[in-house]
Amino acid sequence: MPHFETNHVVKHSAEEMFDLVADVERYPEFLPLCEALSVRSRKERDGKVLLLADMTVGYKAIRETFTTQVLLKRAELMIDVNYIEGPFKYLDNVWRFEPTSERLSIVHFYIDYEFKSRILGALMGTMFDRAFRMFSEAFEKRADAVYGT
């Protein structure tokens, strides 16, 4: 039952950070372990966007693909990720973007997961844990590249 939670102040607006995290198709360009990401479907309703996405992660010779449902709630500056299928027993992930000023915000990142297989958990668990700890830094670096420092 590994989990990770961080609250990180960034020098970008909450809206900019929301947009960056919501742009899931770009994850393979900068996110640790992410080798591919495809969006199967995209539906808009009541100002929210619901994505069904497949993400392939890899480390050395191991590759795993999993499917998630991503709910983009722009008005709330929040993104909820729900696990659908793949190598996990469960995966819960929430992003929240809190404005603190026009150019500063706090990125709240939470993830809780468990692999179905103990063997896969042993092989990938440490790498996933390290990658999740690097996520907020990877998104901040990406924001600096996209929006400037």
Which pLDDT score is estimated for 119? 77
Model confidence over 124-136: pLDDT tens digits?
667 767 777 777 7
Cα–Cα distances (Å) from 65 to 38, 53, 56, 83, in that order, read 11, 10, 4, 12
Sign of CA dihedral 23, 51, 57, 8: positive
Percentage of residues in the chain having pLDDT higher than 70: 96
Which strand ranges, in their side-by-side order, compose the sheet holding 88-99? 3-10, 105-115, 88-99, 78-85, 62-73, 48-59, 34-45
Which pLDDT score is estimated for 125? 64
Which pLDDT score is estimated for 58? 82
Which pLDDT score is estimated for 99? 97
Model confidence over 4-21: pLDDT tens digits?
888 989 999 999 999 999
* Contacts of 69 by beta carbon, 8 Å cutoff, 6+ apart: 50, 51, 52, 81, 82, 84
Whether 91 contacts 81, CB under 8 Å:
yes
More confident residue, 123 or 34: 34
Backbone angles phi, psi at 87, to 5 degrees: -80, 0
The residue written with tokens 């050395």 in the block is 60
**pLDDT (mean) for 66-93:** 96
**pLDDT (mean) for 109-117:** 89
The reported pTM is 0.90
Which pLDDT score is estimated for 122? 73
Model confidence over 32-66: pLDDT tens digits?
889 999 999 999 999 999 999 999 988 778 788 99
Which pLDDT score is estimated for 61? 81
More confident residue, 75 or 4: 75
Q: Which domains does the chain have, with CATH numbers?
A: 3-147 (3.30.530.20)
